């Protein structure tokens, strides 16, 4: 229960209507979008995929760093055996290679972020018809993000019910075609 609501109930400023009246009169529902995403099979599958890709990129970056360190050490030992002009050319080529690799790895990291955001958007696009059905079942006119609500009864929060519906209909999203745009 939210602290402000708990205080109001404790002070007797608010009293919850009987449960039957709440069910019949609930026209506004709340939903914790982050909890819905993070607790659902589909959301967890997307996060696991994102985490695996991020870890793979980190491992790739560590390998590249080790390879470049080895190459830099070899370049340093060549300094004594080649002319200053030749070494300058080798060092410049190495620097260009490092910059190309850095730019490519940064692009991969940005793509991972974009892919994660796209997956999250697809999740909520797929959730919309399910949430609309839930609204119809409960006779509600709106679902608000619970973070935007200052004071409410927990009984209007449909996050767990929505998560159960999403899991039942979409599973982990592996076999569910994305919703049409």
The domain spans of the chain are 18-170
**One digit per residue, pLDDT tens: the chain, 181 residues?**
444 333 333 334 334 444 444 454 558 999 999 999 999 999 999 999 999 999 999 999 999 999 999 999 999 999 989 999 999 999 999 999 999 999 999 999 999 999 999 999 999 999 999 999 999 999 999 999 988 887 777 888 888 999 999 999 999 888 765 555 4
pTM: 0.73
DSSP state of 143: E
Return the structure tokens found at 118: 């796209």
pLDDT of residue 180: 52
Cα–Cα distance between 8 and 1 in angstroms, integer?
Answer: 11
Cα–Cα distance between 170 and 138 in angstroms, integer?
Answer: 21
pLDDT of residue 156: 86
pLDDT of residue 25: 52
């Amino acid at each position: 229960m939210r602290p402000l609501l708990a205080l109001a109930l404790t002070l007797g400023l608010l009293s919850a209507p009987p449960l039957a009246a709440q069910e019949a009169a609930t026209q506004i529902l709340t939903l914790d979008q982050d909890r819905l995403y993070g607790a659902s099979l589909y959301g967890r599958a997307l996060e696991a995929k994102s985490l695996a890709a991020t870890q793979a990129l980190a491992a790739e970056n560590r390998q590249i760093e080790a390879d470049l360190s080895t190459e830099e050490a070899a370049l340093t030992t060549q300094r004594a055996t080649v002319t200053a002009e030749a070494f300058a050319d080798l060092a410049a080529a190495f620097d260009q290679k490092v910059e190309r690799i850095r730019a490519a790895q940064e692009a991969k990291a940005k793509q991972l972020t974009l892919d994660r955001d796209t997956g999250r958007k697809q999740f909520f696009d797929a959730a919309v018809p399910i949430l609309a059905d839930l609204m119809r079942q409960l006779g509600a006119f709106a679902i608000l993000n619970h973070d935007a609500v200052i004071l409410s009864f927990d009984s209007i929060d449909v996050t767990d019910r929505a998560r159960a519906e999403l899991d039942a209909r979409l599973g982990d999203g592996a076999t569910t075609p994305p919703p049409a745009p």
